[in-house]
Amino acid sequence: MAGGSGSRFGANMPKQFLLLGDKPVIAHSMISFENSPFIDQIILVAPRELWDFCHNLSKEFGISKLQAIAPNGKTRQDSVYNGLAGLNNSDALVLIHDAARPFVPQQNSHKNHDKLEELLEAAYAHKAATFAIPATETIKLADKNNLIKSTLHRDSAFIIQTPQAFCANTLIKAHKKAQETGFKAYDDCQLIENLGISPKIVIGSNDNIKITHAIDMVLAEEIYENRLKIF
């Protein structure tokens, strides 16, 4: 998902196409999926004016799994649906990932397989799964006047990340239902919840940050430099 304008970031170019180290932000996650044995194809959703840039990017970094580029829609929900139209197998599992998250969780130190495999296994078993990390701060629910109405129990509160994984035909069904009813969701998991299905949470990574504001890029550069030292 690379259709965002990056308006909150404040740069001329959408944040997902800015350089992080020696490559654009989006290239980091695309390379992760390219190198994963669990990923068969990549569909990129991006503004039409950046399609040539994206094609050149895939050639530069050897992204052979890029199957198609789809146009972004008016909303993220519309953009995801446009991307789903490019699938060549609706019976497959599909991952939805934010291009502004360059550090895809992969290594799992507690099992013999990596995090993407764990996420896909959870999606296969439950029809939907998402990376998330436990909330470490108190989360309050407020009304439109910013008056606190309730407090969430921290033990059951999670900060949701991507990738999110789904049985593709179930996700397509959820999107079609949302279009028919006018339902607007914050993420694809909420669309699945609208079908009465409970997605499974898989613990993600603290490194799996989403670059939204300029300060996030500073943190991303630090994470990238530390990873270079480790690997």
Q: pLDDT (tens digit, 9 = 90+) per residue, 9-53?
A: 555 678 899 999 999 999 999 999 999 999 999 999 999 999 999
Q: So what's the pLDDT on residue 216?
A: 95
Is 74 part of a structural domain of the chain? yes
Is 8 part of a structural domain of the chain? no
For 62-71, 105-114, 220-229, which range has the lowest pLDDT when averaged over its residues? 105-114
Check whether 231 has a pLDDT greater than 80.
no
Question: Please, what is the Cα angle at 7 between 5 and 9, to 5 degrees?
Answer: 110
Check whether 165 has a pLDDT greater than 90.
yes
Is 205 part of a structural domain of the chain? yes
Token output for 140: 């309050």
Q: How far apart are CA 122 and CA 130, in angstroms?
A: 9
Q: So what's the pLDDT on residue 139?
A: 95
Token output for 40: 């068969």
Total domains, the chain: 1
- State phi, psi for 156 to the nearest 5 degrees: -115, 10
**What 3-state class would DSSP assign to 53?**
helix
SS3 content of the chain, % helix, strand, coil (to 5): 40, 20, 40
CATH number for the domain spanning 164: value is 3.90.550.10
Q: So what's the pLDDT on residue 104?
A: 96
Q: So what's the pLDDT on residue 173?
A: 97
Is 10 part of a structural domain of the chain? no
Q: Which position has the higher pLDDT, 184 or 109?
A: 184
Is 7 part of a structural domain of the chain? no
Q: How far apart are CA 83 and CA 42, in angstroms?
A: 10
Q: How far apart are CA 222 and CA 72, in angstroms?
A: 30
Is 9 part of a structural domain of the chain? no
* Residue numbers of the domain that contains 153: 15-230
Token output for 4: 């965002």
Q: How far apart are CA 88 and CA 111, in angstroms?
A: 31
Q: What is the pLDDT of residues 204-220, one digit of tens each?
A: 999 999 999 999 999 99
Is 1 part of a structural domain of the chain? no
Check whether 127 has a pLDDT greater than 80.
yes
Check whether 4 has a pLDDT greater than 90.
no
Please check whether residue 34 is in contact with residue 68, taking contact to mean a CB–CB distance below 8 angstroms. Answer: no
Q: What is the mean pLDDT of residues 85-111?
A: 86
Confidence of residue 3 (pLDDT cuts 50, 70, 90): confident
204 exposure class (CB count in 10 Å sphere: 0-12, 13-18, 19+): buried
